[in-house]
Structures are given as structure tokens and as C-alpha cells.
Structure 1
Amino acid sequence: MTGARYDGLVALVTGAASGIGAATVERLRSEGARVAALDVAAVPAEDGVLPLACDVRDEAGVAAAVARAASWCGRLDLVANVAGVASYQHTTAVALAEWERILGVNLTGTFLVCRAALPHLVAARGAIVNVASLAGVRGWRYSAAYSAAKGGVVALSRSLAVEYAPDGVRVACVCPGSVDTPLRGGLTPVPNPHPRLDGHARALLDPPVADPAEIAAAIAYLGAPEARFATGAVLRLDGGAGV
């Protein structure tokens, strides 16, 4: 769907330089939104896009970026937290620094952006859509840190949905399975995997990997006013892998 669903509205998308984030920026722009596009990597300056350079783990940087996004057009209606990192490792091989990196970007970063944006979203009676993962709602092999972080995103989303419902702010999250993104392409297979775990949680569809635009379409729906009754929703987008 394209059209005027987001005409006059302003969105902030994290992880906007590639993958699901870039697809979400494009989808929201196609529906009329002006989009503040936040990433540690460079985001192209385009009509209707405000590039913001920020590491979502940086509390002061996040606060400044969100304030810039809200002042850009005088409002902030939607936050889509897409920024994320992952790795496959045997749990006994996960260094503390890697655990902290994965939780920092995926969970703490999501929290910091939400916290900074909430006063603006209350004023606009807006919405938050967080990107979690199938790994956050079911067991996932060799992904202890990533699963813990994405499970936290699911719980955070539900908690915020309850707390801010009286203020008219809607909060939901999507849980993709495999998506054709640079994040997925950059994952290194774990050495010596157990043969019984091969094919665990495989999508039922062919091809079994989603296009980022499919996830962006769900984010655009959940962030729109028509999804008022989807607050608190945890939407699996996994091609049946979690059935």
C-alpha cells in the first residue's frame, strides 16, 4: 500500500542505513512521512529524510538525536527501533564484551531511544514499533546473548504498551525470522554445530528468507493510527518457522 497514510507525520527510524531499517525509511516515505534516519553508518540525504549519526548505546547522543528529530518538523509521531547486531557462538565461548555489545545495541539502545522519544510521542499520541526477533520468543541455537536481548525487547514493548496506553501511545513489536539483510549475510556459522540442531526453526515457505520490504510493511501498519487495537502486539514474521 502507498498513499497518504503518513502525510504530515514524522518518524524516527534507527538502523536506517541498511536492511530492514532502510526498507522502513523508504516505506514510510512512500506513504508521506518525513523520516529522521538514525545509524552509526552514513545515511544518504534525500528529500524528506533527515540523516542522524548516532550509536544507540550512547545515552547523550541518543537524547540529542531524538531532540533533533522532534524539532525538525515540530513533532514526532512514530519511532521504529530497528538497529541491531548478532552473532552465532557456543555460549561457553561468548566473551563478556560480546554479551554487552549485543545487549547494548539491541536492548539498551532500544530502551534509550524509547525513553528519549516518549515525551514527544505522548504529545502526538504516537506509536513505537520495536524490532525483536523469532529468537526472542522461542529457543534459538547458539544465540544466547541475541535471544536474551530480543526477548528483552519483547518484554519492554509489552511493558511500555501497558504504561503508556492511558496517554494514547501505542507500542508493538515485530519478530522476524530470517531476512535478507547485511546482518544475516555477515553472520559466521558456529563451529562444530550439533547435528540434531541442523534445520531447527526452518521457515515453511519457499524461498524461506523474507525481503526487508515485507518487514517494513508490517512496521508501517503497526505504526499507523489504524492499528490502534494492535497495541501490545507481538507479531511473528517468520514464514511459519515458529509454528
Structure 2
Amino acid sequence: MPQRYGGRVALVTGAASGIGRATVLRLLEEGARVAGLDTAPVDTDGELDGELDGVLGVRCDIRDEEAVRAAVDRVAAWGGRLDLVANVAGVASYAHTADVTLAEWDRILAVNLTGTFLVCRAALPHLVAARGAIVNVASLAGVRGWRYSAAYSAAKGGVVALTRSLAVEFAPSGVRVACVCPGSVDTPLKAGLQPVPDPDPRLLEHGRALVDPPVADPAEVAAAIAYLGSAEARFATGAVLRIDGGSGV
């Protein structure tokens, strides 16, 4: 395992499960001290809510501006610096667009897009000081049409656009910003999605991966996040990396 993060401090949102948890574990293996933000306890080796074995677990709802600001400042004080932010937290749902309520639209955008923005904004002064990096988790749904996912696609498309905008704005400050766009990943989020009633059969195979099995392991996405956040990815600022098994080809 490469040791690209020795002496570095990383913050990972959505750290309690799925891609977020896999990212915490990957960064720990590569030598980082890691702070995990989530509304649930961060679990790496038993229940964790507080500091243990190089990990700081912080309860935080990333939709809450003041909570985000306090959490990021706590992480920077704990680590003495902040080198990487991985914005992984997200929510999703499937629905016929005509059935999407305004409350559901607002929920999806608040977590996936506004929450990502709030964490980036709070972290950027610390990242400028460290000449660090941001890696946002968008989605294949943010770069191509996706069935029954109007709100989620709009939010993740916004994450892609936010990533590119920040990459341009903060390049002179030495901060790199990139994002990954996973396709189907074996996570609790995916397992919890309810199918839409009466789907159009023509859309059921839309976006299926070309590789077998057609679903990624969270560790595969975490490996890409670790690369994009490292010094090895110096020339990849603004990158939008699809990890989709060829389904977007």
C-alpha cells in the first residue's frame, strides 16, 4: 500500500458507511489522520464517536451551516492542519418525476449539493494554508441522463459544475479540486433504494456496466479518491473521473 498521506490530515463526509467508510479506511492505510463526519457514529473498528486510533468521529449534519463550520474548525484544530476534504455524503431516491415532491427535491439537493458546498467553503481557508485538495463524489447520473432520478441527477450535476468552478478559482492558491463519478456501487445507499412503480421496461437496462460483476466495491471508489487527493494527481485538478464499469461509454 502506498504511503502518500504520512503527516497529512483528511476530512471525509458520509464516513459511517459505504464509500465514505471505505475512504476513511484507505486514507488510514496510506498514513493519514482522518476525521469522519456523519450523522451516525463513524465505525472503523467498533463504535467510534470521538478520537480513536488516528480517527476523529464528528457528528455533523452537512445541511447545517453553523454545524459544518464548527466541525471543520474542530477537525483543523485537532489535526493542526487540513490537507484533504473528501465530500462523500449523499442521499438518493428513485421516483417518476411527476411524483417528486418539493420536499424531496429540497432534501436531495440540500445533502448532495448544498452540503458539499458548505463543507468546501468552510474548509477552503485551511486547504489554502496547506495547499491541499478537495475530492467531491458526484455520480454518473450527474454527467449523463439517468432514469427516475431528476433530483439526484440535478444535484450531482451541480457537484460536477461546483468542482470545475472551484478548480479554476483556487488553482492560483495551490488548492486542487476534482471529483469522481461512480456508477453502481455496492453500498447501503444503493441497497436502500426502492424501485419505482410501473417502470418503463425499455429503461431497465439503461446504464448497465460492461464489466462483470456490474457493481463496484466501495474500496474501488475510495482508491480513486485517494489518488486524486494525493500529490501524484498534481496535474488532475478539475478532473471528472468516471468509475462506472463502462456504462457511460
User: Match of 1:190?
Assistant: 196
Alpha-carbon separation, structure 1, partners of 2:223 and 2:157? 22
Alpha-carbon separation, structure 2, partners of 1:182 and 1:8? 31
Alpha-carbon separation, structure 2, partners of 1:4 and 1:235? 22
User: Match of 1:109?
Assistant: 115
User: Match of 1:122?
Assistant: 128
User: Match of 1:18?
Assistant: 17
State which of 94, 97, 113 in structure 2 corresponds to 1:91: 97
Alpha-carbon separation, structure 2, partners of 1:8 and 1:232? 25
Alpha-carbon separation, structure 1, partners of 2:119 and 2:150? 24
User: Match of 1:204?
Assistant: 210
Q: What TM-score do you get using the length of structure 2 for normalisation?
A: 0.96
The alpha carbon displacement at 1:3 in A equals 3.5
Residues 72-114 of structure 1 show CA distances to partners (whole Å, capped at 9, x for unaligned) of: 0210000000000000000010010100000000000000000
Alpha-carbon separation, structure 1, partners of 2:85 and 2:107? 22
The residue correspondences of 1:38-187 to structure 2 (distance < 5 A) are: 38-44=37-43, 45=48, 46-187=52-193
Task: Give percent identity, aligned residues only.
Answer: 80
The alpha carbon displacement at 1:195 in A equals 1.4
Q: Given residue 21 of structure 1, which amino acid in structure 2 is its aligned partner?
A: G
The alpha carbon displacement at 1:4 in A equals 2.1
Q: What TM-score do you get using the length of structure 1 for normalisation?
A: 0.99
Q: Given residue 174 of structure 2, which amino acid in structure 1 is its aligned partner?
A: G
Alpha-carbon separation, structure 1, partners of 2:115 and 2:227? 23
Q: Could you say what secondary structure the match of 1:100 adopts?
A: helix
User: Match of 1:9?
Assistant: 8
Q: Given residue 37 of structure 2, which amino acid in structure 1 is its aligned partner?
A: L
After TM superposition, what 4+ stretches of structure 1 lie above 6 angstroms from structure 2?
none
The alpha carbon displacement at 1:8 in A equals 0.1
Of stretches 121-130 and 42-51 in structure 1, the one that deviates more from structure 2 is 42-51
Residues 28-76 of structure 1 show CA distances to partners (whole Å, capped at 9, x for unaligned) of: 0000000000000111333000000000000000000000010102100
Where structure 2 has 5 or more consecutive residues not aligned to the other structure, the ranges are none
Alpha-carbon separation, structure 2, partners of 1:198 and 1:186? 18
Residues 111-147 of structure 1 show CA distances to partners (whole Å, capped at 9, x for unaligned) of: 0000000000000000000000000000000000000
Alpha-carbon separation, structure 1, partners of 2:117 and 2:59? 18
1:33 and 2:32 matched: yes
Q: Could you say what secondary structure the match of 2:189 adopts?
A: helix
Q: Given residue 36 of structure 1, which amino acid in structure 2 is its aligned partner?
A: A
Alpha-carbon RMSD: 0.6
What is the number of equivalent residue pairs in this alignment? Answer: 242
Q: Given residue 43 of structure 1, which amino acid in structure 2 is its aligned partner?
A: V
